[in-house]
């Protein structure tokens, strides 16, 4: 039975995993190609990317109810387009607000005590990255709807295509090929913005063609612009705000870690970006698994199949551990070799290799906690998990990172603090899942 549940979850999760990995691969590709320009541009992209992640991840949390609520309703009920319309209204508002707030932070960035050369190198890459938040979240909202409707492969292929477009544009704009000016870090920002806009346009065209003549898509501009229902917005925010809170706690902890790395110097910040790029890419696999688990648990919960809930959740947690064992071993034994792919700086690659050894440990915990959180979200259990993540990151991870990193052993101490918080989150969320499904097993 656990094998059957794992197989069903994997069928749904595989394209979501590949799509999520491809999406984050855009940032990894940027780091690889920016690293060829120099350590300072790489550190600048790290800091700008950390600020971007803050707003992007909060947006992702607000959009998670799209997949949960659409999956819970029968495909022929006509409810899906209503949830999509309300979800996209939240998406537009959240993405524009996030973009404006990110731009509004520009005058205050020197107060983060980052190296002067890093802050100088960030412009106008930072502004372009802020604007790209809008298409990034619009794409994710539409992608959630497609996945909940059992259509995950096309968004995955479109994501891969946007990554390839980003690579080509990077090659042209960063290095000045085919007659274009060599824009360096600014070229990377332009490439990312264009690639994300192209992905949104392509996904809209696909979904309109796929569902345009069915009751699963809002028909015409009038349907899209019709009056929003306060009850639906409240339901989406009831699930989305705590989910955003969970992700906010995590991304704030990693942003705080990036700030601490900046205090330790440009090389520490560059090493942090390399290690974080590797970890973020591999994390997309359990994250995709968590999204699929959330959809499956939501369907079982909506269909009254209480006995399947624990089987789905625990089998997915086991899969996450298996997935993360592979990168954990790679980070342990090949850390420095991976770091050399990003930048030719011995001090940076040696430090990044040490950080990846710590990452090998917390990747296992990170995979477990995100899948358990996804299963609980499918049960509409979001308040207690939000409290757990708040404790994990802000009462454990950040203080420990500060003590061990800034006042202890340096950069590796910052990452040991993150590992401590993730370990607590994994244990506590797994316990919460077992408790919530105990009477239904």
How far is residue 10's CA from residue 371's CA, in Å, rounded to a whole number?
13
Exposure of 99 in the CB half-sphere (CA atoms within 13 A): 19
220-231 in b/e form (b: 16+ CB < 10 A) is: eeeeeeeeeeee
Residue 105 has a CB neighbour count (10 Å cut-off) of 16
Exposure of 203 in the CB half-sphere (CA atoms within 13 A): 32
User: Which tens digits make up the pLDDT trace of 319-373?
Assistant: 888 889 998 999 999 888 988 888 778 888 999 999 999 998 888 898 899 899 9
Q: In the block, which residue shows the tokens 């506590």?
A: 428
Please say whether the beta carbons of 126 and 48 come within 8 A.
yes
Greatest mean pLDDT range, 6-20, 273-287, 294-308, 353-367:
353-367
pLDDT of residue 33: 85
- CA proximity to 20, closest of 112, 145, 152: 152
Pull the structure tokens for residue 238. Answer: 């009831």
Residue ranges covered by each domain of the chain: 2-440
How far is residue 154's CA from residue 158's CA, in Å, rounded to a whole number?
6
Please say whether the beta carbons of 285 and 156 come within 8 A.
no
Q: In the block, which residue shows the tokens 């009462």?
A: 395
pLDDT of residue 441: 43
How far is residue 71's CA from residue 378's CA, in Å, rounded to a whole number?
10
User: Which tens digits make up the pLDDT trace of 33-58?
Assistant: 887 788 788 888 877 887 887 788 88
How far is residue 340's CA from residue 353's CA, in Å, rounded to a whole number?
9
The vertex-252 CA angle with 260 and 32, nearest 5°, equals: 70
More confident residue, 107 or 131: 131
Tally of helices (H runs) and strands (E runs) in the chain: 16, 0
104-105-108-112 Cα dihedral, nearest 10 degrees: 180
For 81, phi then psi, to 5°, come to: -60, -30
pLDDT of residue 90: 94
pLDDT mean across residues, the chain: 85
- CA proximity to 301, closest of 293, 289, 309: 309
Give me the mean pLDDT over the 257-273 stretch: 85
Greatest mean pLDDT range, 374-383, 387-396, 402-411:
387-396
pLDDT of residue 432: 93
């Amino acid at each position: 039975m656990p094998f059957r549940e794992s197989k069903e979850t994997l069928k749904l999760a595989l394209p979501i995993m590949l799509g999520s990995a491809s999406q984050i691969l855009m940032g990894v590709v940027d780091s690889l190609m920016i690293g060829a320009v120099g350590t300072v541009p790489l550190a600048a992209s790290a800091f700008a990317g950390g600020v971007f992640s803050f707003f992007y991840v909060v947006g992702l949390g607000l959009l998670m109810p799209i997949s949960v609520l659409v999956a819970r309703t029968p495909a022929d009920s006509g409810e899906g387009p209503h949830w999509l319309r309300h979800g996209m209204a939240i998406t537009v508002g959240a993405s524009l607000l996030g973009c404006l707030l990110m731009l509004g932070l520009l005058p205050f960035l020197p107060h983060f005590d980052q190296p002067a050369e890093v802050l100088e190198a960030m412009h106008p890459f930072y502004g372009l990255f802020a604007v790209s938040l809008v298409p990034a979240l619009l794409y994710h909202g539409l992608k959630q709807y497609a996945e909940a409707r059992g259509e995950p492969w096309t968004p995955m292929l479109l994501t891969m295509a946007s990554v390839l477009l980003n690579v080509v544009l990077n090659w042209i704009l960063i290095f000045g090929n085919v007659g274009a000016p060599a824009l360096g870090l600014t070229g990377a920002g332009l490439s990312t913005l264009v690639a994300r806009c192209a992905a949104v346009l392509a996904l809209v065209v696909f979904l309109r063609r796929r569902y345009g003549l069915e009751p699963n898509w809002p028909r015409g501009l009038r349907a899209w612009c019709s009056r929003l229902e306060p009850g639906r917005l409240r339901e989406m925010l009831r699930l989305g705000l705590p989910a955003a809170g969970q992700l906010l706690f995590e991304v704030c902890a990693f942003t705080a870690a990036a700030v601490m790395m900046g205090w330790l110097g440009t090389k520490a910040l560059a090493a942090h970006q390399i290690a974080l790029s590797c970890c973020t890419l591999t994390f997309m696999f359990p994250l995709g698994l968590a999204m699929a688990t959330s959809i499956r648990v939501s369907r079982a919960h909506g269909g009254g199949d209480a006995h399947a809930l624990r089987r789905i959740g625990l089998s997915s947690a086991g899969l996450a551990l298996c997935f993360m064992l592979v990168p954990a071993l790679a980070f342990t034994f090949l850390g420095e070799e991976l770091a050399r792919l990003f930048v030719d700086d011995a001090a940076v690659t040696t430090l990044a290799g040490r950080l990846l050894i710590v990452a090998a440990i917390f990747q296992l915990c990170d995979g477990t906690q995100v899948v358990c959180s996804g299963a609980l979200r499918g049960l509409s259990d979001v308040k207690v998990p939000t409290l757990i993540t708040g404790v994990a990151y802000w009462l454990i991870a950040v203080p420990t990172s500060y003590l061990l990193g800034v006042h202890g052993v340096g950069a590796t101490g910052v990452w040991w603090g993150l590992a401590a918080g993730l370990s607590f989150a994994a244990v506590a969320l797994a316990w919460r899942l077992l408790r919530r499904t105990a009477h239904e097993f």
